[in-house]
Structures are given as C-alpha cells and as structure tokens.
Amino acid sequence: MFGIGTHELLIILLVVLVIFGAKRLPEIGSGLGRAIRNFRQASNEPDEIDITPKGEKKTIEDDGKKA
C-alpha cells in the first residue's frame, strides 16, 4: 500500500493525534468521509445535462443559430 508499512502508519496517526487532539479526530474523519462521498457522487454524474424538449433533435449545425 503505497510503500507505507504499519510502523509508518502508526507514526503518522500519532502525529495527527498530537496535532489535532482526540476530540477533533471524529470531526476530521467525518469531514474526510463526506468529501470522499461527494467526490464519488460528482464523478458518477453525467458531464452535461440535456435540456432539449422531447421530439426535437438538436444537431451541431443548429447550435448557436437563431432564426
């Protein structure tokens, strides 16, 4: 896993615990979880929303031209 062993992970977690404290760790974890969840939802959504009415086909030539 990224070349990081268990000893390195424990040291990183200990440093995070010392910097942020035990009371802030659940907040940080939930914020990180929400960020990952939002990223996954955003990556699964379509890139473009089609707003053309049903029955009407939009072609490339029609794009930008108004009568």
Instruction: Indicate whether 27 belongs to any domain.
Output: yes
Instruction: Indicate whether 53 belongs to any domain.
Output: no
Per residue in 21-38, pLDDT (tens digit) is 888 888 988 999 999 999
Instruction: Indicate whether 14 belongs to any domain.
Output: yes
Instruction: Indicate whether 20 belongs to any domain.
Output: yes
**CA distances, 61 to each of 55, 57, 65 (Å):** 17, 11, 8
Instruction: Indicate whether 66 belongs to any domain.
Output: no
Residue 24 lies in domain: 6-44
What's the CA gap between 64 and 62, in Å, rounded? Answer: 6
What's the CA gap between 62 and 57, in Å, rounded? Answer: 9
27's tokens: 């907040």
Q: Where are the alpha helices (DSSP H) in 1-67?
A: 6-20, 25-44
> How many domains is the chain partitioned into structurally?
1
Instruction: Indicate whether 40 belongs to any domain.
Output: yes
Per residue in 36-57, pLDDT (tens digit) is 999 998 888 776 777 778 776 6
Instruction: Indicate whether 17 belongs to any domain.
Output: yes
Instruction: Indicate whether 10 belongs to any domain.
Output: yes
